[in-house]
Structure 1
Amino acid sequence: MAAEIRLFPCLSDNFGYLIHDPMTKATASIDAPEAGPIVKALQREGWTLTDILVTHHHEDHVGGIAELKAKYNCRVIAPHDKGAEIHQVDERVKEGDTVKVGNLTARVLETPGHTLDHISYMFDHEHALFCADTLFSIGCGRVFEGTYPMMWDSLLKLRALPNNTRVYCGHEYTASNVKFALGIEPNNPALKARAEEVAQLRAANKPTVPTLIRDEKEANVFLRADVPTVAAALGMTGKSPSDVFGELRERKNKG
């Protein structure tokens, strides 16, 4: 039986995610932005929370852990960097580790940049990537704790995943990201098609995720910092991809 994934809004613009193994009834929440919507989603499905898979220490990703832990006595798995303050952690994981949710298996990918402790969870059999605030649809996270070369390397790691990988990111930022990207690549046909799709989805109050790695490679300007036309659009022909990426991120920060 295939894994079941549920997506729902949390806080102002976070996504909440549940991934459920029908065979064992194990259910994991990817991060815990706030407890209420997660509890409601579990009750709606008739599922019991067994695990919380934490991607990084920011409050809008860990704020619901204490309440959920008290209610379900679930296992909390978090990045190995103990310098980041995440409470009630049962297990720490790093690059190359695997995490089991019932019979489901996720690979841990270290994806630092947004924060130094940031990890992503790749469920290969389900073709599902939970990447929180590293990669967004048509965007990427702000670089708060790492460096631009570090974040670029993390994005390259995710870009190298199979084309049919579904990307489940941490926030509904796609419309804003599309507006920025069109300012850099106004003639990119994949981006223009995505812009139309996003406008329709948001008009219907529907989420713009999941998206596919294949589509992000074609339309997400932050994954295209090594494309000569992107460098040229920034007046950075001949510059390194990480420098081009840094300029893109700086411009988005100011936008």
Structure 2
Amino acid sequence: MPVEIEQFMCRSDNFGVLVHDPKSGQTAIIDAPEEAPILAAIKRTGWTPTMILTTHHHMDHVEANLALKERFKLRIVGPEAEKAKIPGIDETVEDGSVLHLGDERIEVIATPGHTAGHVSYYFPASHVAFTADTLFALGCGRLFECKPPVMYDSLKKLAALPSETAIYCGHEYTLANARFALTVDPSNSALKERAARIEALRAADKPTLPTTIGEELSTNPFLR
């Protein structure tokens, strides 16, 4: 049985995400940008979180760590390379580490670029990956701590996932990314069609995620 996902907005443009394994009843929070929207999502779903899966150390991804840990007595998991910068961290992971949410296998993929220790979390049985600020819909993260070749290698890793893999990233940047993509790939008909859909979604105040690896391969200029 695939995991259930609740996506919602935090701060100004961050996505918050709960991932729930219905068989075991366990729930993971993917990053913790802001306490109040996360608590509202927990109340709305009735799910009780058991861990936070942290992708990287930036404050807009870890701000609610300590408050949520105190409230729910959950464990906080994050990249070994950034453990000193992640509040409340209990367990560290690196490329190739394996975690479980109930019986659901979670594979850790090192995806440095945006930060030096950034990781993504891949749920192969449910065909979903959480890429935070490495791979965005129609874009990629800014390079704060690494050189472009490092980010390029991380994007290649993610691009190699099965094309049907659903991608949840860290921010609602898709409309701006689409407008940029059209300036560098103006003859791409798939991109033009997708940009029109994105314009309509944002005009209706609807999220543009998830995307898929297949869709990114055909329209994201950083994967082409």
TM-score computed with the length of structure 2 as normaliser: 0.98
CA distance change for structure 1 residues 206 and 82 in 2, over 3 Å: closer, same or farther? closer
**DSSP-derived class of the 1:142 partner:** coil
Structure 1 partner of 2:143:
143
Do 1:99 and 1:107's aligned partners in 2 also have CA atoms closer than 8 Å? yes
Structure 2 partner of 1:201:
201
Higher strand share: 2
- Say which is worse superposed, 173-182 or 79-88, in terms of deviation: 79-88
* Distance in 2 separating the partners of 1:2 and 1:190: 29
Structure 2 partner of 1:216:
216
How many angstroms does 1:2 deviate by? 2.7
Structure 1 partner of 2:75:
75
Matched, 1:110 2:110: yes
CA deviation profile, 1:162-182 (whole Å, cap 9, x unmatched) = 000001000000000011110
CA deviation profile, 1:73-93 (whole Å, cap 9, x unmatched) = 001000011465112111000
The structure having more radius of gyration, on CA atoms, is 1
The residue identity in structure 2 corresponding to 1:199 is E
Task: Point out where structure 1 has 5 or more consecutive residues left out of the alignment.
Answer: 225-255
Do 2:57 and 2:82's aligned partners in 1 also have CA atoms closer than 8 Å? no
Structure 2 partner of 1:191:
191
* Distance in 1 separating the partners of 2:190 and 2:167: 17
**DSSP-derived class of the 2:208 partner:** coil
Do 1:16 and 1:30's aligned partners in 2 also have CA atoms closer than 8 Å? yes
**DSSP-derived class of the 1:81 partner:** helix
How many angstroms does 1:35 deviate by? 1.0
Structure 1 partner of 2:12:
12
The CA RMSD measured in Å over matched residues stands at 0.9
Structure 1 partner of 2:126:
126
How many angstroms does 1:210 deviate by? 0.2
TM-score computed with the length of structure 1 as normaliser: 0.86
Summarize the alignment of residues 238-253 of structure 1 with structure 2, pairs less than 5 Å apart: none
Do 2:2 and 2:125's aligned partners in 1 also have CA atoms closer than 8 Å? no
* Identity level (%): 52
* Distance in 2 separating the partners of 1:196 and 1:84: 43
Matched, 1:86 2:86: yes
**DSSP-derived class of the 1:125 partner:** helix
CA deviation profile, 1:92-130 (whole Å, cap 9, x unmatched) = 001111111122111000000100010000000111010
Structure 2 partner of 1:46:
46
* Distance in 2 separating the partners of 1:112 and 1:130: 14
Structure 1 partner of 2:180:
180
* Distance in 1 separating the partners of 2:195 and 2:176: 10
The residue identity in structure 1 corresponding to 2:86 is I
* Distance in 2 separating the partners of 1:150 and 1:117: 11
CA deviation profile, 1:8-57 (whole Å, cap 9, x unmatched) = 00000000000001111100000000111111101111111101000000
* Distance in 1 separating the partners of 2:35 and 2:213: 29
Matched, 1:58 2:61: no
* Distance in 2 separating the partners of 1:187 and 1:82: 41
The residue identity in structure 2 corresponding to 1:93 is V
How many angstroms does 1:4 deviate by? 0.5
Paired positions, count: 224
**DSSP-derived class of the 2:67 partner:** helix
Do 1:105 and 1:124's aligned partners in 2 also have CA atoms closer than 8 Å? yes
* Distance in 1 separating the partners of 2:88 and 2:169: 24
Structure 2 partner of 1:243:
none
Runs of 4+ in 1 over 6 A off after TM superposition: none
Structure 2 partner of 1:155:
155
* Distance in 2 separating the partners of 1:22 and 1:151: 35
